[in-house]
Structures are given as C-alpha cells and as structure tokens.
Structure 1
Amino acid sequence: MRAFNVIYLCSLLIAISCTSKQKEDKEVVAEKIATSNTTLPFKYWVWITAEPSKTDLMYIDEFKKYKNNGIDAVLINTEANAKILEKIAPLAVREGLEVHAWMFTMNRPNDAIALKHPEWYMVSRSGKSCFDNRPYVDYYQWLSPSHPQARQHIWDLVESLAKVKDVASVHLDYIRYPDIYLPIGLLPKYKLIQNEELPDFDFDYSQVAVDKFEQQYGKDIRQAEVPAIDIEWKQFRLNEIKSVVDGAYDIAHKHGKQLTAAVFPYPEMADHMVRQRWDKWNVDEVLPMIYYNFYNETVDWVGFATRQGVEDLKGKNTKLHTGIYLPPMSAKDVSIAIELAKNNGASGISFFDGNAITEEQFEAIKNSKK
C-alpha cells in the first residue's frame, strides 16, 4: 500500500509539473506573438558624408539639429575609413541617433589599395576597363565581384566598419554593376539614347568574370552574338553581387551588427537597370532610392515603388525604408512622400542628404511624427 502511495504521489507531481510547463510554454509563445505583432516606430534616416574640416562641435550641432527635427538614424559616409567613424559615431549616439556605416561597395573611387591592382576592375563589352576608362562620370571605378581578391578587399572593409563600437549596421551602397540603363530623367544630361544594352555600359567582361562564367556554363560569353538575351549570363552577374552581399551579411552579423543597403527602386527595375536583385539577398534592411524626380515621375510614384518592393519582400525578414531625394521637393511633397511610404508598408523613410534639408522640409518631417 505504501508503494502504491509513493507511485501515486510521483505521478501527481509529474502531472502538475507537465501542466505548469505547458502553461509556461504557452505564455512564452503568447509573449513571442505579442512581440512580433508590436508595430515598430516608423524610422527616419538621413544620409550624410563626413568632412575633414568639421570639428566635433560642428558635428554635435548637426546631430542635435537632426534629432530635434525628427531624425532617428544617420548613415555616415567616411569612405570606409573606420578610424574616422570611430571619432564621429559616439557624437551622434550621444545625441540619441543610430549610426550606420555607409560605404561605397563595388564602386570604389580613388581606393588606394584597389588602384594598385588594375586586374580587379570591371571591363565593358567594348573592352574598356573601369580602372582607366570610366563610364558616365570620373568617380565610376567599379571592382569586379568575380575577382576573389577584389571581393575580399570589400569584405575586409565591411569587417573594419562592423568592428566600430557604436555602429548599428554596415550600409552597402553601389552594390551592383554600372548602370546599363540610366534613369530616363538623366539621359539628356549625358546626351544618350539607351534603347538597348550598349557595349560601353554593359559590364563585366573582365577576364576573371568571363573565365568563371565559362567554367560554370561551358561557354565564352564574348562569342555570343547578342549577350543581352543570354539569361544565364544575366543570372550569373546577379548571383555574383548576391555572393558579395551574403558574405558581408555573415561578417556584419559575426560582429553583432546588421547589414543594410541602398538599392534601386524595386527589384524588377533594379534587375533591369543595374543587375541587382535585392529581394534575393541576405540583408536586414534595404533603403530603395525612390528618386521619382530622376524618372520623370511625380511624387505619387513613391507609393507605387514602395508597395512593389514591400510585396517582393513578403515572407522575408528584410525591412524596407523608402529613400527620397530632397533637393527638388517642396515641403508639401515631402509630407506627401512620407505618408505614401507609411501607407504602402515601409518601415521608415530616408532623406538624401542631410546637408540639403531646408528649414521648411525639416518642419514637414517633424510635423509628420506628431
């Protein structure tokens, strides 16, 4: 009888323990669901460039102005110089701003290390290297994502920025190929007609890229009569950029930082214009540059392009923050753009650039947070 009582007591304790554990598990699950359903505040970002002539006090005044006018985060371009970022970042953090290390990625103008290696650079279908024959503008010096040393150089820069204490993310810009098609609004400036993929603007025909493609697909793309219709060649280049991004993601996360990126307006458009399919990347947040002014569109296009990107990211953990180009915009249009971004699923909005924001635009930004 005593043995039966002991067995019964043990069974009762186990049952109570299991019930308690189930209750605890349910509470944990409920908490996780509640947390996941919590709406995060709509974030306001601004891109800025570090200037050697600025003192700490000048930066502090600048950061105070951003914070007082509703800005939450600053993306700081230091030309991937971690030492400069180490000096500036704490000043921004003390003013209550998030800091993101903005770097030029495939396009590395005046990169002292890269310039020692002409073989690292992309080459056009017409045989012109970005090392000494640059498309569109003189600062277009594009490294090949297919060159292992060029790729490693980029990852080394990512790591140096990810190690900076006060940085929230490493922010990749120019993470693509040169523009095969310019935004339509910019074509008159360059006196160009781009109704097809022109040889001078079609990259990367560097030896290392051509060889790598041939190893994977068994053909020399230089022998193709119309490379533009070779889907494998296009996909190869999309994959090469994705590989650079995914490697950067692993590096940033290894150091407890996120990876963010400035990208073209929405994935299908980015694919067509610059070989960039950002909805396929491992990346925490994207800031598509929905510069409607460049495309001869009106401000309502901000809503369309934002929604398109949000839809393409469904099922992924990547957040989208709409980017807008301020200089030609009225304060009223800034207010409209913010509302369009919010109403079409963006998690925030970013302004290019900090130095260009007028007092009227600041007022519109601040009022939109009320």
Structure 2
Amino acid sequence: MKKLLVLCLVLFTLIGCNEKGPKIPVYAWTGGPGDATDKELLEKFNDFKDKGIDGLMFNGGHDPATYKRVGALVKKAGMDFHAWIPTMVQGENPKISKDLYAHNRNGESAWDKPAYVDYYKFLCPNKEGTYDFLAELYGSVAAVDEIDGMHLDYIRFPDVILAEGLWDKYGLVMDQEFPEYDYCYCDKCTSDFKEKTGIAIKEVADASQVQEWKQFRYDLITKMVGRLAKVVHKEEKEINAAVFPGPSIAKKLVRQEWNKWDLDAVYPMNYNDFYLKGPEWVGAVVNEEVRAVNGLKPIYSGLFICPNPDNKTKENDPENHGLLPSEIGTAIRTSMENGAAGICLFTPERMKPAHWEAFEKAIYTDYSEK
C-alpha cells in the first residue's frame, strides 16, 4: 500500500510539472525558407511549438512546391500551416499585364508611380485579369495537401491615409484624401461606377466626399474576397486574412469593409504603435472587431513586437517600434478579455527572451471568467 501511495505521488508530481494549464491559441507570421536546410527549419519550428505557437502564417512565395516542403516540416513540428501570400500587391510577373495595375486620382499607374514605397504596386480589383491571376495562384497553393488554409494579405487598396504613426516617417500630414494616394480611377472603375450611380466621379469637385464612391470600392474588395473564398473552399481549405483594425480604421485607411467578407477567420493587425496608442488600446479595438462580426467568426488579435526594446525610444522608424516585454501581457490579456479567439505574433523572430517570458505567463492564463 505504501509503495502504491509513493507511485501515485510520483505520477502526480510528474503530471503537475508538465501541466501548465489551459493555453490560448497562438499563431505567428513568418517566412522563408531562404537557404535553410530541412534540419534547420525543423529545429526552428520545434522551437516555435515549444514556446506555445500553434500555427504559422508562412510567406514562401508563389511556388506550391515550397509550401509542400515547408508544410511537411511544420506538420512534423505539430503546428497548423497557412500560406501567407500578398494579394493585390504584385511585382513584375510575366503572368500580369501592366494594364491590370490600379490608377490614382491623378491618373498615375501604381506600376509606374507607386505610392509611398517602390513595392506598392497594387492591382485593380475590378479587372477580370486580376481575378484570373489570383484564382490560379491561390488555387494551386491551396491544392497542396500540407496546407490548412490560405492567408490573404494586402487585400485592399493603397493607404489613402497612412496610420498617424507613419506620418513623420514619410514627411506627410494626412488630414485629407490626397489624389496621389487615392485609388482606383482607371477607366473601368470610373465607368462602372457611373453606370451604377450616374455619377461621373472624375468630374466631382471632391471625390473623397462621395460616400457611394467609397462604398463602390469597399464592395470591389469584398467581391474579390468572395470569389477567392470559393476557389480555396473548393480545395476544402480555410481562407483567412490579415486586415487593418476596426473595421472602422480599415475602411477609412485602406477601403476594407472586412466584416462583410466571406472568411473563416480574421487576423486584424492591431499594431498599437502605428496609431500612437498604448497596449491597452488593443483590447478596445478587439472589442469593436468581435462586435463587427457579431461573434460569428474568430478574431485573432495581431500583435506587433518591438525587435530592440532597449532602443525603442531612440528609434525614429515606427516599423521598429512595437510591444515591449512589459507590454505584451497587457496586449494579450485585453485581447482575450474582449473576445479574441487567440493572438498572432508579428513576428516570433522579433521576440527577445524577456518577451517570451512574459508571453508564456500570458498565454497560460484562463481568461474565460474575466
């Protein structure tokens, strides 16, 4: 009897040491594979899994073979695998005609004169050739057995207004919709809009005040998502997307009315520093996001990590800002208390040991009764 009690005590101790309690779902944006070997990739993925990450949004280009190779290793590590592929932003590609790129209010093509940065070469979502290209791309990758889902990114127009935290970086004060950042005014968009509403938008004194024109462009993106969802669902895979917060902010800045999209899950990029807000703001915006979809779709709160916490106050570029180790717990807690299904890290590579320590404590907390 005494031996039995000792054995039970040992088993109880071992179980207790290994059991951390309930864990919230955690995803992460990452990419590659670059020159990494299978062994190196597997070690990395095992490390992510051990740290509490359940699935990856993996940016690996357009080749299905890359996703098959990497996906097998992610699966071996015990994580979900989603292909993270930009949608409307596309660089030079023999499959894409130059006339598929969007035009701003000045009539300039995003191919010839992209807004803000060179890679902002946005396609027009109103061109059938755009859909044809994307349907073939997403369909071919979704057909890979190792894929669990397709993760849309840049499924939007260019930022007609930048997040305020970026204004200084680009030397702009964006208190209105300036024509060089306002898309799309190609002949097809403007003629289709006139046929639908009777409004010749190029002749309007201030197009930014025409609500029907805003809604027309929201609907173009919504329609594209719906069509791509059919392509992905045909392969019996999930479809989800990285979106701007809100959707109040998303609508204002990039024409995303994502609460109407046919998605299986939503990953809002709740990057508080971009909006000059503290970590507690994340919870407030998650509250809006959950209500926007009536709690019918999971919201995974995207968190932007500071890669060099010691230099944050000295760093001028907000893209090198982000959550400090002392802030990540607040961002996770407020996300979960306001109805998020889980979180998504941008990126695990930016996390420092102090981040991981605070992260582990936060993800093994029960928020169900908060």
Structures share fold, TM-score greater than 0.5: yes
Q: Is the 8 A contact 1:210 1:220 kept in 2?
A: yes
Q: Which residue of 1 aligns with 2:347?
A: 353
Given the alignment, which residue of 326, 329, 338 partners 1:335? 329
Task: Please state how far the C-alpha of 1:135 moved relative to its aligned partner.
Answer: 0.3
Correspondence for 1:215 among 195, 199, 221: 195
Shift of 1:167: 1.2
Distance (Å, rounded) in 2 between the aligned partners of 1:359 and 1:93: 25
Residues 173-201 of structure 1: CA distance to partner in whole angstroms, max 9, x if unpaired? Answer: 11110001101010000000111110000
Instruction: Give the whole-Å Cα distance in 1 for the aligned partners of 2:363 and 2:327.
Output: 16
CA distance in 2: counterparts of 1:79 and 1:122, whole angstroms: 22
Which of 227, 250, 262 is residue 207 of structure 2 equivalent to? 227
Q: Which amino acid aligns with 2:301?
A: T
Query: In terms of mean alpha carbon deviation, does 285-294 or 360-369 score higher?
Result: 360-369
User: 2:30·2:56 contact (CA, 8 Å) conserved in 1?
Assistant: yes
Q: Please, which runs of 5 or more residues in structure 2 have no aligned partner?
A: 1-21, 307-321, 365-370
For residues 46 and 110 of structure 1, the distance between their equivalents in structure 2, rounded to whole angstroms, comes to 28
Secondary structure of the residue that 1:368 maps to in structure 2? Answer: helix
Matches within 5 A, 1:107-118: 107-114=89-96, 117-118=97-98
After TM superposition, the score normalised by the length of structure 2 is 0.86
- Relative distance call for 1:112 and 1:367 in structure 2 (3 A) is farther
- Rounded to whole Å, the distance in 2 between the matches of 1:204 and 1:168 is 33
| Cα distance change, pair 247–177 in 1 and its aligned pair in 2 (3 A) | same
Give, in angstroms, the shift of residue 79 of structure 1.
Answer: 2.2
1:318 to 283, 290, 297: 297
Whether 1:141 aligns to 2:121 is yes
State the shift of 1:369 in Å: 3.2
- Which residue is 2:265 aligned to? 285
Q: Within 5 Å, which residues of 2 pair with 1:38-57?
A: 42-57=24-39
What residue is the counterpart of 2:75 in the other structure?
93
Alpha-carbon deviations, 1:255-290, whole Å to 9, x = none?
111110000011111111110000011111000000
The equivalent of 2:152 in structure 1 is 172
Conservation of the 8 A alpha-carbon contact between 2:332 and 2:363: no
Question: Retained in 1: the 8 A contact 2:87–2:154?
Answer: yes
C-alpha separation between the residues in 2 aligned to 1:366 and 1:61?
20
Shift of 1:120: 0.1
Q: Which amino acid aligns with 1:161?
A: V
Read off the aligned partner of 1:53 and give its amino acid letter. D
By how many angstroms is 1:109 displaced? 2.8
| Cα pair 1:80 1:104 within 8 Å, conserved | no
1:8-66 deviation per Cα after TM superposition (whole angstroms, max 9, x unaligned): xxxxxxxxxxxxxxxxxxxxxxxxxxxxxxxx963101101113211111111110110
Counting only pairs closer than 5 Å after superposition, residues 54-203 of structure 1 correspond to structure 2 as 54-114=36-96, 117-203=97-183
The answer to whether the Cα contact below 8 Å between 1:331 and 1:360 also exists between their aligned partners in 2 is: yes
Q: Report the Cα distance in structure 2 between the residues aligned to 1:227 and 1:47, rounded to whole angstroms.
A: 36
CA RMSD of aligned residues (A): 1.4
**1: CA distance between counterparts of 2:65 and 2:345?**
25
Match of 2:249 in 1: 269
Letter matched to residue 362 of structure 1: W
Residue 364 of structure 1 corresponds to which residue in structure 2? 358
SS where residue 76 of structure 1 aligns? Answer: strand
Provide the rounded CA distance (Å) in 2 between the counterparts of 1:336 and 1:234: 35
In 2, Cα distance between equivalents of 1:362 and 1:167? 27
Q: How far is 1:112 from its partner?
A: 4.1
Quote the Cα distance in structure 2 between the aligned partners of 1:276 and 1:184: 18
Task: Letter of the 1:202 partner, please give it.
Answer: D
2: CA distance, partners of 1:342 / 1:164: 32
Whole-Å Cα distance in 2 between the matches of residues 252 and 48 of structure 1? 21
Judge which range, 298-307 or 209-218, deviates more. 209-218
2:315 corresponds to: none
Question: Deviation digits for residues 182-239 of structure 1, max 9, x if unmatched?
Answer: 0101000000011111000000011221222222222321111111111111111001
Contact 2:33-2:41 within 8 A present in 1 as well: no
Range 118-127 or range 147-156, more displaced: 147-156
- The answer on whether the counterparts of 1:323 and 1:352 sit within 8 Å (CA) in structure 2 is yes
Q: Deviations over 1:126-173 (max 9, x none)?
A: 111011111000110100000111122112111112111111110001
SS of the equivalent of 1:74 reads strand
Following superposition, the deviation at residue 331 of structure 1 comes to 1.6
How many matched pairs? 328
**Do structure 1's residue 243 and structure 2's residue 252 form an aligned pair?**
no
Deviation at 1:362?
A: 1.9
Measured in 2, the distance between the counterparts of 1:108 and 1:239 equals 21
CA distance in 1, matches of 2:87, 2:195: 26
* C-alpha distance in 2 between matches for 1:59 and 1:112: 31
1:14 alignment partner in structure 2: none
